[in-house]
Amino acid sequence: MNILSSKRTIAENLILQFDAALKTLANSAIAMRPNPARSSTPTLTSLEKRLSAQCMRVNHAGEVAAQGLYQGQALTARKLAVAEKMRQAAREEVDHLAWCETRLIELDSHTSYLALFWYTGSFMIGAIAGLVGDKWSLGFVAETEHQVMAHLNSHLHCLPAADNRSREIVALMVEDEARHATQAISAGAASLPKPIAVLMRMMAKVMTTTARWI
């Protein structure tokens, strides 16, 4: 298992995981890439701002969950190469956190108050997936990313027509998620049984519905 075969000690791995969690939950993510929101700040009605904020809060909550998932999978991955793929994906998706946080600030809104719950729950799921085996862990990533892509694409249609800044962020997020799904499949992801995929959709529905308001 990765936490035993890595050159790092178990304590060092746990410290790294704790540090990653703090950075994710502190709403202080720093993007490595430029913010894709290039359009001028739109003038939105109060109703449009609320709708955009709800969408971006859900997207941010999803990225918090993704960080927990990837970190949990990296901790228990059997192969170091797979663990590094998980950590690399997590690093790339920190950009998503930063972009969503910035947009929520622009919309005079806030991130989900249940971020700790989303992160912790996803971390546990990721750790369990890693323990089951790398091909299943990668399959979990691929299925998760496909579901996230469908969700983000729905936001491209439901965001207010005037809110191009949010739409530009979401569009690039979709591209990144598609790439991560393709990478997981290329690395040997197994297709998950249908009941598991359905359960994942049900759990995601609970998160997205709750994060929209809280």
What pLDDT score does 48 carry? 92
Q: Cα–Cα distance between 167 and 177 in angstroms, integer?
A: 15
Rounded distance, CA 171 to CA 193, Å? 29
Question: What pLDDT band is residue 194 in, cutting at 50, 70 and 90?
Answer: confident
Q: Return d(Cα 123, Cα 53) in angstroms, integer.
A: 25
Q: Quick one: 43 exposed, middle or buried, by C-beta within 10 A (0-12, 13-18, 19+)?
A: exposed
Task: Decide if pLDDT at 15 tops 80.
Answer: no
Per-residue confidence (pLDDT) for residue 1, from 0 to 100: 47
> What number is the average pLDDT over the span 67-84?
79
CA trace torsion 22, 183, 146, 175 (10° rounding): 80
| Amino acid of residue 128 | I
Residue 125 has pLDDT above 80, yes or no: yes
Distances (CA, A) of 107 to 14, 115, 156, 168, 212: 36, 19, 17, 15, 14
> Would you state the torsion angle of the CA atoms of residues 35, 37, 43, 47, taken in this order, to the nearest 10 degrees?
-90
Average pLDDT over the chain, rounded to whole?
81
> Kind and range of the H or E element at 58?
helix 46-76
Q: How many Cα atoms sit within 13 Å of 54 on the Cβ side?
A: 15
Q: Is the pLDDT of residue 4 over 50?
A: no
- Mean pLDDT is lowest, of 21-25, 62-66, 109-113, for 21-25
pLDDT attached to residue 6 = 45
What structural domains does the chain harbor? 2-23+46-213 (1.20.1260.10)
